[in-house]
Protein backbone atom coordinates (compact mmCIF):
# COMPACT_ATOMS: atom_id res chain seq x y z
CA UNK A 1 0.00 0.00 0.00
CA UNK A 2 1.23 3.46 -0.84
CA UNK A 3 -0.18 5.12 2.28
CA UNK A 4 -0.27 4.09 5.93
CA UNK A 5 -2.35 6.97 7.21
CA UNK A 6 -4.75 9.15 5.24
CA UNK A 7 -6.54 12.32 6.30
CA UNK A 8 -9.79 12.54 4.35
CA UNK A 9 -11.43 15.96 4.14
CA UNK A 10 -15.11 16.10 3.22
CA UNK A 11 -16.94 19.38 2.78
CA UNK A 12 -20.26 19.87 4.47
CA UNK A 13 -21.81 20.54 1.07
CA UNK A 14 -20.76 17.15 -0.21
CA UNK A 15 -22.96 15.53 2.47
CA UNK A 16 -26.01 17.36 1.04
CA UNK A 17 -26.14 15.12 -2.01
CA UNK A 18 -28.94 16.45 -4.23
CA UNK A 19 -30.54 18.35 -1.35
CA UNK A 20 -30.37 22.13 -0.89
CA UNK A 21 -29.58 21.97 2.82
CA UNK A 22 -28.65 19.50 5.53
CA UNK A 23 -27.64 15.87 5.23
CA UNK A 24 -28.48 13.28 2.58
CA UNK A 25 -28.28 9.95 4.38
CA UNK A 26 -27.76 8.01 1.15
CA UNK A 27 -24.72 10.10 0.35
CA UNK A 28 -23.28 9.66 3.84
CA UNK A 29 -23.84 5.92 3.55
CA UNK A 30 -22.03 5.76 0.20
CA UNK A 31 -19.09 7.63 1.68
CA UNK A 32 -19.07 5.29 4.69
CA UNK A 33 -18.96 2.25 2.39
CA UNK A 34 -16.04 3.73 0.48
CA UNK A 35 -14.19 4.51 3.69
CA UNK A 36 -14.79 0.96 4.96
CA UNK A 37 -13.02 -0.54 1.95
CA UNK A 38 -9.91 1.49 2.71
CA UNK A 39 -9.95 0.70 6.42
CA UNK A 40 -10.51 -3.00 5.66
CA UNK A 41 -7.36 -2.87 3.51
CA UNK A 42 -5.41 -1.98 6.66
CA UNK A 43 -4.97 1.74 6.04
CA UNK A 44 -5.51 4.18 8.90
CA UNK A 45 -8.11 6.82 8.15
CA UNK A 46 -8.82 10.09 9.94
CA UNK A 47 -11.59 12.39 8.73
CA UNK A 48 -12.27 16.12 8.92
CA UNK A 49 -15.76 17.25 7.88
CA UNK A 50 -16.93 20.79 7.08
CA UNK A 51 -20.22 22.41 7.99
CA UNK A 52 -21.21 24.47 4.95
CA UNK A 53 -24.37 22.41 4.38
CA UNK A 54 -25.71 23.74 7.68
CA UNK A 55 -24.00 26.98 8.64
CA UNK A 56 -21.17 29.12 7.33
CA UNK A 57 -19.68 31.94 9.41
CA UNK A 58 -18.80 34.13 6.45
CA UNK A 59 -22.32 34.02 4.98
CA UNK A 60 -23.87 34.83 8.37
CA UNK A 61 -21.49 37.77 8.75
CA UNK A 62 -22.69 39.14 5.40
CA UNK A 63 -26.24 39.19 6.77
CA UNK A 64 -25.16 41.12 9.85
CA UNK A 65 -24.02 38.62 12.48
CA UNK A 66 -20.79 39.09 14.36
CA UNK A 67 -18.12 36.98 12.66
CA UNK A 68 -16.65 35.17 15.66
CA UNK A 69 -20.10 34.19 16.97
CA UNK A 70 -21.10 32.98 13.50
CA UNK A 71 -17.89 30.97 13.17
CA UNK A 72 -18.54 29.17 16.45
CA UNK A 73 -21.97 28.28 15.09
CA UNK A 74 -20.26 26.96 11.95
CA UNK A 75 -17.98 24.81 14.08
CA UNK A 76 -20.98 23.34 15.89
CA UNK A 77 -22.48 22.52 12.48
CA UNK A 78 -19.41 20.44 11.64
CA UNK A 79 -20.01 18.31 14.73
CA UNK A 80 -23.53 17.47 13.54
CA UNK A 81 -22.06 16.26 10.25
CA UNK A 82 -19.37 14.29 12.07
CA UNK A 83 -22.01 12.54 14.18
CA UNK A 84 -23.94 11.56 11.05
CA UNK A 85 -20.76 10.11 9.53
CA UNK A 86 -19.89 8.34 12.77
CA UNK A 87 -23.29 6.63 12.82
CA UNK A 88 -23.00 5.55 9.19
CA UNK A 89 -19.54 4.07 9.79
CA UNK A 90 -20.64 2.28 12.94
CA UNK A 91 -23.67 0.84 11.12
CA UNK A 92 -21.11 -0.89 8.90
CA UNK A 93 -19.42 -2.40 11.96
CA UNK A 94 -16.44 -0.03 12.02
CA UNK A 95 -14.97 1.32 15.22
CA UNK A 96 -14.83 5.10 15.39
CA UNK A 97 -13.95 7.91 17.75
CA UNK A 98 -15.19 11.47 17.37
CA UNK A 99 -12.88 14.13 18.78
CA UNK A 100 -13.98 17.75 18.93
CA UNK A 101 -11.78 20.84 19.08
CA UNK A 102 -14.52 22.35 21.28
CA UNK A 103 -15.30 20.28 24.36
CA UNK A 104 -18.66 18.50 24.25
CA UNK A 105 -18.09 15.69 26.67
CA UNK A 106 -21.59 14.22 26.50
CA UNK A 107 -21.20 13.40 22.82
CA UNK A 108 -17.51 13.05 22.01
CA UNK A 109 -13.94 13.10 23.21
CA UNK A 110 -11.97 16.32 23.29
CA UNK A 111 -9.24 16.58 20.68
CA UNK A 112 -6.11 14.96 22.13
CA UNK A 113 -3.44 14.37 19.55
CA UNK A 114 -1.73 11.42 21.21
CA UNK A 115 -5.00 9.69 21.91
CA UNK A 116 -6.09 10.20 18.32
CA UNK A 117 -2.88 8.53 17.16
CA UNK A 118 -3.44 5.57 19.49
CA UNK A 119 -6.97 5.14 18.13
CA UNK A 120 -5.63 5.13 14.59
CA UNK A 121 -2.93 2.60 15.51
CA UNK A 122 -5.60 0.27 16.85
CA UNK A 123 -7.64 0.42 13.66
CA UNK A 124 -10.27 2.95 14.71
CA UNK A 125 -11.42 5.72 12.43
CA UNK A 126 -10.92 9.10 14.05
CA UNK A 127 -13.28 11.90 13.05
CA UNK A 128 -12.18 15.41 13.95
CA UNK A 129 -15.05 17.83 14.64
CA UNK A 130 -15.31 21.58 15.25
CA UNK A 131 -12.54 22.48 12.83
CA UNK A 132 -9.53 24.03 14.52
CA UNK A 133 -11.67 25.27 17.42
CA UNK A 134 -10.90 28.87 16.41
CA UNK A 135 -12.98 31.40 14.51
CA UNK A 136 -11.59 32.90 11.28
CA UNK A 137 -10.31 29.50 10.18
CA UNK A 138 -11.81 26.85 7.93
CA UNK A 139 -12.13 23.11 8.02
CA UNK A 140 -9.64 22.93 5.12
CA UNK A 141 -7.10 24.45 7.49
CA UNK A 142 -8.24 22.04 10.21
CA UNK A 143 -7.66 19.16 7.78
CA UNK A 144 -4.11 20.32 6.97
CA UNK A 145 -3.33 20.98 10.61
CA UNK A 146 -4.63 17.66 11.90
CA UNK A 147 -2.94 15.78 9.06
CA UNK A 148 0.41 17.30 9.99
CA UNK A 149 -0.13 16.71 13.71
CA UNK A 150 -1.00 13.03 13.32
CA UNK A 151 1.70 12.53 10.67
CA UNK A 152 -0.66 11.51 7.89
CA UNK A 153 0.98 10.76 4.54
CA UNK A 154 -1.49 12.81 2.53
CA UNK A 155 -4.61 14.98 2.70
CA UNK A 156 -7.29 13.72 0.34
CA UNK A 157 -9.97 16.27 -0.35
CA UNK A 158 -13.11 14.52 -1.53
CA UNK A 159 -15.34 16.87 -3.53
CA UNK A 160 -17.93 16.65 -6.30
CA UNK A 161 -15.37 17.78 -8.90
CA UNK A 162 -12.81 15.29 -10.21
CA UNK A 163 -9.73 17.42 -9.60
CA UNK A 164 -8.25 20.88 -10.01
CA UNK A 165 -9.03 22.72 -13.25
CA UNK A 166 -7.44 25.66 -15.05
CA UNK A 167 -10.78 27.47 -14.45
CA UNK A 168 -14.14 26.59 -12.87
CA UNK A 169 -15.36 23.70 -15.08
CA UNK A 170 -18.98 24.44 -14.11
CA UNK A 171 -18.61 27.93 -15.68
CA UNK A 172 -15.91 27.56 -18.34
CA UNK A 173 -16.30 24.63 -20.80
CA UNK A 174 -12.71 25.07 -22.04
CA UNK A 175 -11.26 24.40 -18.57
CA UNK A 176 -8.84 21.45 -18.41
CA UNK A 177 -7.87 19.31 -15.44
CA UNK A 178 -4.37 19.07 -13.99
CA UNK A 179 -3.03 15.61 -13.12
CA UNK A 180 -0.34 17.15 -10.98
CA UNK A 181 0.48 20.70 -9.96
CA UNK A 182 3.00 22.35 -7.62
CA UNK A 183 2.14 24.46 -4.59
CA UNK A 184 3.81 27.41 -6.32
CA UNK A 185 1.52 27.07 -9.36
CA UNK A 186 -1.52 27.02 -7.08
CA UNK A 187 -0.38 30.37 -5.63
CA UNK A 188 0.67 31.86 -8.97
CA UNK A 189 -2.54 30.91 -10.76
CA UNK A 190 -4.78 31.68 -7.78
CA UNK A 191 -6.42 28.26 -8.08
CA UNK A 192 -9.26 27.41 -5.75
CA UNK A 193 -7.95 24.23 -4.10
CA UNK A 194 -8.17 25.03 -0.40
CA UNK A 195 -7.82 28.38 1.35
CA UNK A 196 -4.33 29.84 1.42
CA UNK A 197 -3.73 29.08 5.11
CA UNK A 198 -4.39 25.39 4.46
CA UNK A 199 -2.20 25.38 1.34
CA UNK A 200 0.66 27.11 3.12
CA UNK A 201 0.56 24.65 6.02
CA UNK A 202 0.77 21.73 3.59
CA UNK A 203 3.52 23.32 1.58
CA UNK A 204 5.69 24.17 4.58
CA UNK A 205 5.31 20.65 5.93
CA UNK A 206 5.71 18.86 2.59
CA UNK A 207 2.30 17.27 2.84
CA UNK A 208 0.75 16.43 -0.54
CA UNK A 209 -2.91 17.20 -1.24
CA UNK A 210 -5.06 15.14 -3.59
CA UNK A 211 -8.34 16.59 -4.83
CA UNK A 212 -10.72 13.95 -6.18
CA UNK A 213 -14.38 13.12 -6.84
CA UNK A 214 -15.66 11.34 -3.74
CA UNK A 215 -19.11 10.93 -5.31
CA UNK A 216 -17.73 8.30 -7.68
CA UNK A 217 -17.87 5.06 -5.65
CA UNK A 218 -14.52 3.29 -5.47
CA UNK A 219 -12.39 6.38 -6.09
CA UNK A 220 -11.18 6.60 -2.51
CA UNK A 221 -10.01 2.98 -2.60
CA UNK A 222 -8.26 3.51 -5.94
CA UNK A 223 -6.34 6.42 -4.47
CA UNK A 224 -5.48 4.46 -1.35
CA UNK A 225 -4.09 1.75 -3.64
CA UNK A 226 -1.80 4.32 -5.23
CA UNK A 227 -3.75 4.66 -8.49
CA UNK A 228 -3.85 8.09 -10.07
CA UNK A 229 -7.22 9.77 -9.52
CA UNK A 230 -7.93 13.51 -9.49
CA UNK A 231 -5.16 16.07 -9.08
CA UNK A 232 -2.17 15.89 -6.77
CA UNK A 233 -0.58 19.05 -5.38
CA UNK A 234 2.97 18.63 -4.12
The residues binding ligand UDP (CB under 6 A) are 11-13, 50-52, 56-58, 70-71, 74-75, 77-78, 131-132, 134-135, 137-140, 142
Pair type for strands 231-233 and 209-213: antiparallel
Decide: 12 and 51 in contact? Cβ < 8 Å.
yes
Closer by beta carbon to ligand UDP, 214 or else 227:
214
Measured distance CA(92)–CA(89) in Å, rounded: 5
Is 134 marked as binding a ligand?
A: yes
Closer by beta carbon to ligand UDP, 32 or else 75:
75
Closer by beta carbon to ligand UDP, 142 or else 223:
142
Residues 6+ apart with CB under 8 A from 63: none
Residue 131 Cβ, how far from ligand UDP at the closest point, in Å?
2
Interior/surface letters 34-66, b for 16+ CB within 10 angstroms, e for the rest? bbbbbbeeebbbbbbbbbbbbbbbeebeeeeee
Closer by beta carbon to ligand UDP, 141 or else 231:
141
Closer by beta carbon to ligand UDP, 9 or else 124:
9
Give kind and range of the element (H or E) at residue 185: helix 183-189
3-state secondary structure of 96: strand
Residue 111 DSSP code? P
Is 137 marked as binding a ligand?
A: yes
Is 159 marked as binding a ligand?
A: yes
Closer by beta carbon to ligand UDP, 51 or else 230:
51
Residue 37 Cβ, how far from ligand UDP at the closest point, in Å?
23
Is 9 marked as binding a ligand?
A: yes
Is 212 marked as binding a ligand?
A: no
Residue 113 Cβ, how far from ligand UDP at the closest point, in Å?
16
Is 71 marked as binding a ligand?
A: yes
Residue nearest to ligand UDP (CB): 50
Residue 15 Cβ, how far from ligand UDP at the closest point, in Å?
8
Residue 226 Cβ, how far from ligand UDP at the closest point, in Å?
26
Residue 193's closest CA among 138, 118, 140? Answer: 140
Residue 174 Cβ, how far from ligand UDP at the closest point, in Å?
27
Is 144 marked as binding a ligand?
A: no
3-state secondary structure of 88: helix
Residue 41's closest CA among 231, 229, 223? Answer: 223
The residues with which 97 forms a beta bridge, in sequence order, are: 126
Amino acid sequence: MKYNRILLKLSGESLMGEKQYGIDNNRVQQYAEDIKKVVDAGIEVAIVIGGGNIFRGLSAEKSGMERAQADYMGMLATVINCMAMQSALEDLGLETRLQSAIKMEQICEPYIRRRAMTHLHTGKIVIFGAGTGNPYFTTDTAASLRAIEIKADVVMKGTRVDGIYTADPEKDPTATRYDEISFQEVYDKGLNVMDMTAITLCRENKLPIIVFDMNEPGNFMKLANGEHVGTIVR
